[in-house]
Amino acid sequence: MGKRFKEGRTSVDDDKRAGAPRTAITRGNITAVYLAIKENRRISVLELSSNIDVSAGSIDTIIHELLLYSKVIGRWVPKMLTKQHKQARVSACQQLLDRFSAVMATVIWDIKGVLLLDFVECNHTVTGQQYSDQLAEQLHPSIRLKRRGLLSKGVMLQHDNARSHTENVTSSKITKLVWEVLVHPPYSPDLAPSDYHLFGPLKDHLDGMKFDTNDDSKMRCKTGYIACRKRFFCRYSSTSNTVEKVHRSPG
């Protein structure tokens, strides 16, 4: 080492070394991995390792560092999409949006049946102002008409923690209506009656149906809830033991 310093060396760090050759990462193995993925995009690293007789570490290096693939929802896809790929994705999504525009339904019900069923068209969201107007202008008259005497006894409302449900304008409207809001913990769809009691049967009712227009889907949704007899809504009281189970458990 002293000789090398006399010859002009100034660094005390070790020289970089090439290391052991990557004998497994050959052109043939890279091609084999590429062809296997093209044939089956769900193939696993362990399966590739077994089929090609190369270590899993080498397979991982070939996939991620050389072929630049990553796994998305269980499938190997190129990490860097080409311009054509991106344009195709945008075009496909636009066609789907044009053909299958979504409709969101607002459903408010009790153990006797549906009190309010309203729809919001595609590309629209329910704001706090819209929701509070629904409560005052649609739900309140519906309760007065369908549940005589309930307004004077006191209305208890349970909804989740969606933004439109918790905005100040909604809270102010509920206070003005003198209604009580039942507590609902966040991230708890198993404690939301609509999620575990109402939407499942509706999905079963609509399963396999095709709709040409949004009006068709709205009508089918309405008939689905009309088909639910009173005893269906009454059964909610027996399924609500979910609350008791959570209460007895650590959470």
**Domains of the chain, each with CATH number or no CATH:** 23-78 (1.10.10), 104-248 (3.30.420.10)
Q: Is the pLDDT of residue 159 over 60?
A: yes
Mean local confidence (pLDDT), 22-49: 87
Mean pLDDT score across all residues of the chain: 79
Query: What was the pLDDT predicted at 92?
Result: 77
Complete DSSP assignment for the chain: -HHHHHTT----SPPP---S--TT--HHHHHHHHHHHHH-TT--HHHHHHHHT--HHHHHHIIIIIS-EEEETTEEEESS--HHHHHHHHHHHHHHHHHS---EEEEEEETTEEEEEEEE-TT----HHHHHHHIIIIIHHHHHHHSTTHHHH--EE-----HHHHSHHHHHHHHHHT-EEPP--TT-GGG-HIIIIIHHHHHHHHTT---SSHHHHHHHHHHHHHHS-HHHHHTHHHHTHHHHHHHHS--
Tokens of 25: 């990462």
At 201, the pLDDT band (50, 70, 90 cuts) reads: confident
Q: Is the pLDDT of residue 145 over 80?
A: yes
**Paired residues of 78 in beta bridges:** 69
Q: Is the pLDDT of residue 150 over 90?
A: yes
Query: What was the pLDDT predicted at 180?
Result: 95
At 48, the pLDDT band (50, 70, 90 cuts) reads: very high
Q: Is the pLDDT of residue 131 over 70?
A: yes
Q: Is the pLDDT of residue 20 over 60?
A: no
Q: Which one-letter amino acid corresponds to residue 195?
A: D
Q: 214-227 vs 199-206: helix axis angle to the nearest 10?
A: 120
Q: Is the pLDDT of residue 147 over 60?
A: yes
At 144, the pLDDT band (50, 70, 90 cuts) reads: very high
Let me know: does 87 contact 100? Beta carbons within 8 Å. Answer: no
Query: What was the pLDDT predicted at 66?
Result: 87
C-alpha 136 chain-centroid distance = 31
**pTM assigned to the model:** 0.54
Compare 135 and 231 and report the one with higher pLDDT: 135
d(CA 24, CA 57): 10
Mean local confidence (pLDDT), 142-152: 94
C-alpha 154 chain-centroid distance = 35
Q: Is the pLDDT of residue 60 over 70?
A: yes
Mean local confidence (pLDDT), 120-124: 71
| Cβ burial, residue 63 (10 Å; 0-12/13-18/19+) | buried
Query: What was the pLDDT predicted at 97?
Result: 67
Q: Is the pLDDT of residue 26 over 70?
A: yes
CB contact set of 97 (below 8 Å; sequence gap of 6+): 122
Let me know: does 69 contact 78? Beta carbons within 8 Å. Answer: yes
Compare 152 and 230 and report the one with higher pLDDT: 152
Question: For 62-84, how does the pLDDT look when each residue is reduced to its tens digit (9 = 90+)?
Answer: 988 888 888 765 676 666 667 77
